[in-house]
Chain A
């Protein structure tokens, strides 16, 4: 694909930015992101339909840690904070970070700024798995499925995502090496097939099922509880720690596989590892929250725009940015139509689309925003 067409550079005053040494700039960026993360987490647990004052939040959290502060709060407030808001924010952090870092890794791996985790078939496969359970679950499993949907759906979603990515991977494997150009095309083909089957199931669904699968297909953190967090954490956290270790190899691979090989990296191994790690983390994220678009695409772009394309900053930065964006979008989704929840994909799309158009309109021929 033509990189000139795909690139999304942005005009910016680079001269001033260059005065600051690279390491100082990346430290500042990471510090700002951590600060943003803390703020959005506080906002996430403070904002909601039932009022809990910030000071009461402090006292509830203190109480959980065994300290008693002389401040009034009801047990109902404790329950809302500990069982509804906190798990929702934590799940949002995990999902957002997985999507952000997954997008960063794949954009680097495919040398394509438009790559996003959906490219490998993860989202469409997961969607097919989840929709299958929603639409056919009652027919196949009868009453039994009613109590099981909460477990079956994420499981089916995860397996569906895994199966789709495995198919993409198998199709693009030739002579023991994965051809990434073929992988892009195989991803398109697998996404189209899974999409048409999902479409058929949507067509067959009744109005009750349609509502719940719309929520799933547009993504939502509405069902978040601690069990969802514990299900997602073991698969999202290890990739978040391991993927940044591939940063230098991914930097070298931006110069081409041959050059990366000359620099002592094994591009095949790095490709394989990144695909496995991204599939695990994004698969678990999608299973937990449904299909949430744009975070995986926008978060890495934002970091490259500010700090440059070095994966040692882009990967952790995109994880933090993804977490901030997702928890922020979730707050918005909760309050804009309160007490109803909006699907979170509606929010990320509504805000992400215009942002991307802005990027397109402000592109300069060459600059930090390029990709």
Chain B
């Protein structure tokens, strides 16, 4: 099932093309990882798919309908987003924060009980059950990030959406320790296995290679490569986009694609010119 499709989408911000003619598709059960240098337009592309911004050109469909055809409330029942950072200074408990994720599903005695069960379940899935009654502002950055992931999971949990379900993750592991980084990407795979389409913006190329079914590489607003890790994360692409020397290998523990990178050796001709 097609969960999201982007065709020829462009977005101009402040006189600059932050997204230029991007086309990609996302299927149910799939994890697509978006990589690229800072300012390449990864988050802007995610915002377009989330419906936060209207593309200047191109068409975007999510969960079986063009974005213009969705009401905010209805879209919120099948698509959830984990933003890069969330500020919350008011002393909600962790459980209350996750329950806010159930807002799109209305109220009532039944839904309230259901929401509570789903919220507790999602907290368990992100390994944050022990935080349930802690006050959110007292959490560390990594704990907050996991609670936000639980909130986003709760939002689209337990629904048989006919157009499918979509989870958008914007650097959802940026504040996590290595164990939790793997944990949250394993969770993304589990969620995908339940039929959700997942797009994750990620900086760590090895996480992208290990957990992405397909990788999209963005550079200055353009999608320069899109496909399975082995075909996309090549020394040529890494060199061109990131300016890094790169060797691909196999992770001896998992057999997954792994990348070793290093700064390119100084170019003698350029060095000479600079001198």
Contact = CB atoms under 8 A, between A and B. Distances in A.
Which of the four size classes fits the interface of chain A? 35 or more
Nearest to B87: A256
B89 A3 contact: yes
A3 B81 contact: no
Nearest to B85: A256
A259 interface: yes
B138 A264 contact: no
Given A251-B100, A370-B137, A264 B75 contact: yes
A204 to B, nearest CB: 44
Interface in B96-134: 96-97, 100-101, 103-104, 133
Contact of A263 (B87, B93, B100, B137): B100
Interface string A272-315: 00000000000000000000000000000000100011100000
B80 interface: yes
Contact of B135 (A255, A310, A367): A367
Contacts of B65: none
A310 B112 CA distance: 15
Given A259-B83, A366-B135, A370-B137, A111 B76 contact: no
Interface string B53-95: 0000000000000000001111111011101001111111100
Contacts of A365: 138
A63 interface: no
Interface string A1-36: 001100101000010001000100000000000000
Q: Which of A14, A255, A308, A365 has the most CB of B within 10 A?
A: A255
Contacts of B75: 264
Sorted from nearest, which 3 A-B pairs have the closest CB atoms? Answer: A264-B76, A366-B138, A264-B73
Contacts of A370: 89-91, 135, 137
Nearest to B136: A366
A310 B96 contact: yes
B73 A366 contact: no
A371 interface: yes
Residues of B contacting A: mostly: mixed
A370 B155 CA distance: 27
B215 interface: no
Given A308-B96, A366-B91, A264 B77 contact: yes
A262 B76 contact: yes
B92 A309 contact: yes
B76 A259 contact: no
B104 A309 contact: no
Contacts of A265: 72, 103
21 contacts: A4-B89, A7-B89, A111-B90, A251-B103, A252-B100, A254-B88, A254-B92, A255-B100, A261-B52, A262-B81, A263-B76, A263-B103, A264-B74, A264-B104, A265-B103, A309-B92, A310-B96, A366-B138, A370-B90, A370-B135, A371-B91
A7 B91 CA distance: 10
Nearest to B75: A264
B4 interface: no
B76 A258 contact: no
Given A258-B52, A264-B104, A310 B92 contact: yes
A10 to B, nearest CB: 10
Interface string A236-270: 00000000000010011011101101111110000
Contacts of B135: 14, 366-368, 370
Contact of B91 (A18, A256, A258, A304): A304
A264 B88 CA distance: 18
Contacts of A371: 89-91
Contacts of B100: 251-252, 255, 263
Contacts of B74: 264
Contacts of B76: 262-264
Q: Which of B75, B86, B89, B104 has the most CB of A within 10 A?
A: B89
B21 to A, nearest CB: 25
Contacts of A9: 91
Contact of B90 (A14, A254, A264): A254
A369 interface: yes
Contacts of B133: 18
B223 interface: no
B137 A266 contact: no
